Amino acid sequence: MTSIFALVDCNNFYASCEKLFRPDLRHAPVVVLSNTDGCVVARSKEAKALGIKMGVPVHHIQSDIRRHKIQVFSSNYTLFGDMSRRVMVTLESLAPRVDVYSIDEAFLDLTGIDRVVSFGEFGSQVRNTIFQSVGLPVCVGIAPPRTLAKLANYAAKHYPATGGVVDLTGTARQRRRMSRVPVGEVWGVGRKLSAKLQAIGIETALNLADADPAKLQRYFSVVLERTARELRGLACLAWEDAPPAKKQIMCSRSFGQPIQALSDLEEAVGHYTARATEKLRNGQLYAGELMVFIRTNPFRTSVPQYSRSASVRLVTPTQDSRVITRQAMMLLRSLYRDGFDYAKAGVMLSELEGGIGLQTDLFETSSEDTKAVERAARLMAVMDDINRKSRATVTVAREAGPGVYAMRRNHLSPAHTTSWKQLPKVY
């Protein structure tokens, strides 16, 4: 039996999350900014219609913002993450297998579902259920291989007449749709590769599907050759029930304002370390190596520049915030140099492994050592449980402080779904 996939993708996800709790902005142009309110990272369809480009610095479009009354929001990662979770939970209630591809996209395995309902009808059910349960608009693309499902989703988004659902399970319909899609819109074909393909006459998805696989592999890559096969309906991408284990965990941010003092940098790195170790424990992983970096702003050429990083191999893989924070502070102090305006810092945990078969320190064999490890695990579990109920109530001491490193988010919306104090009010 041929496997059939659906790609469900939220429309203008960040902007839609902000509009959901602001009915007055239903038809207004909305943009969402990057860390420190620097660049545009999301646009509503109204903002796109005004010509606002992705990635444009916000100070370049101030006149457009005033003229068209564009609503500006800072990145509200707490809100976006929670809304994503709600979408994925809803999808898991609708399909037997769900593969979360990104914060706003997921593949569903629909193999055999057409015995009960047509693919197009099921896609409409998915779309309506998410809108009713979560309040976000989505588009659904359905096809045998995943690359074709992605292409079907592109058509569902760009052609309003489809009603947000495109079924490409039929060969004739596949070829007709591919003939209208630029090759640059095919999953995995970037701007540079698209230009090379167009130079040899491959301008549409259909041209790529019909190209000689051997030549694609010889002159480009095996990846592109597999993409072409998928466009012809041959599945080359294996389904993953569970995402592959993370190889590293990174936590870093640009500061809201330049930092000079070591104590302020320590608070920032302490905070990033706490978030990284929290992710570590959520994944039931242990870190064997830690890296810390600091740097100035490379775009401020008028001031002295400095950028350094350092790493340390942990004696025993751990997920204890206290141990990793202590090592992070030692690395940071070795990196720090006075007289610079630091703009960013971060930590990276690597050499990650699960708890089963974990290699412990050869010399930590006494019962006291074992009890200490167990006490640390219980302490971290209690801290995480408290923080889940009330964010950042319990922290490592080094993390506490005035937070001068905090990102600049002057247009931050409330935590509508995760804070009792910020719940929307209806009068």
Q: Are 149 and 143 in contact, with CB atoms under 8 Å apart?
A: yes
Residues 258, 383: one domain? yes
Q: Indicate whether 29 pLDDT > 80.
A: yes
* 142 plus 200 within the same structural domain: yes
Count Cβ atoms within 10 A of the Cβ of residue 68 and give its class: 0-12 exposed, 13-18 middle, 19 or more buried.
Answer: middle
Provide the domain limits for residue 272: 248-399
Average pLDDT, the chain: 87
Q: State pTM to two decimals.
A: 0.72
Let me know whether 121 and 148 are in one domain.
yes
What's the N-to-C CA distance of the chain in angstroms? 54
CB 402 within 8 A of CB 266: no
Q: What six digits make up the tokens of 13? A: 């996800």
Supply the pLDDT for residue 242.
47
Residue 287 included in any domain:
yes
Residue 255 falls inside a structural domain: yes
- Does 102 lie in the same domain as 67? no
CA distance 427 to 422: 15
Q: Same structural domain for residues 188 and 62?
A: no
pLDDT per residue as tens digits for the range 171-193: 999 999 999 999 999 988 888 89
The backbone torsions φ and ψ at residue 336, rounded to the nearest 5 degrees and listed phi first, read -65, 135
Task: Answer yes or no: is 159 within a domain.
Answer: yes
The CATH number assigned to the domain holding 29 equals 3.40.1170.60
Tally of domains within the chain: 3
Inter-CA distances, 115 with 44, 51, 125, 131, 166, Å: 37, 45, 16, 25, 19
Which of 28-37, 96-105, 193-202, 394-403 is predicted with the least confidence, judged by mean pLDDT? 394-403
The 10s digit of each residue's pLDDT in 214-266 is 898 888 989 899 999 999 988 887 665 445 556 788 888 888 788 999 999 99
Q: How far apart are the C-alpha atoms of 91 and 80, rounded to whole Å?
A: 17
152 & 258 share domain:
no
| Residue 65 and residue 112 in one domain | no
- Virtual torsion, Cα 328, 334, 340, 346, nearest 10 deg: -20
Query: What pLDDT shows up at residue 239?
Result: 62
Asked whether residue 417 is assigned to any structural domain, the reply reads no
Report in angstroms the alpha-carbon separations of 30 from 16, 45, 73, 275, 290. 9, 8, 8, 29, 39
Q: How many CB atoms lie within 10 A of CB 379?
A: 14
Give residue-wise pLDDT tens across range 260-286: 999 999 999 999 998 899 989 988 889
Is residue 50 assigned to a domain? yes
> Which CATH number characterizes residue 104's domain?
3.30.70.270
- Does residue 227 share a domain with residue 86? yes
Q: Are residues 86 and 183 in the same domain?
A: yes
Same domain, 92 and 164: yes
- 140 and 63 part of one domain: no
pLDDT digits (tens, 9 = 90+) for 197-214: 999 999 999 999 999 988
Asked if residue 224 and residue 155 are part of one domain, the reply reads yes
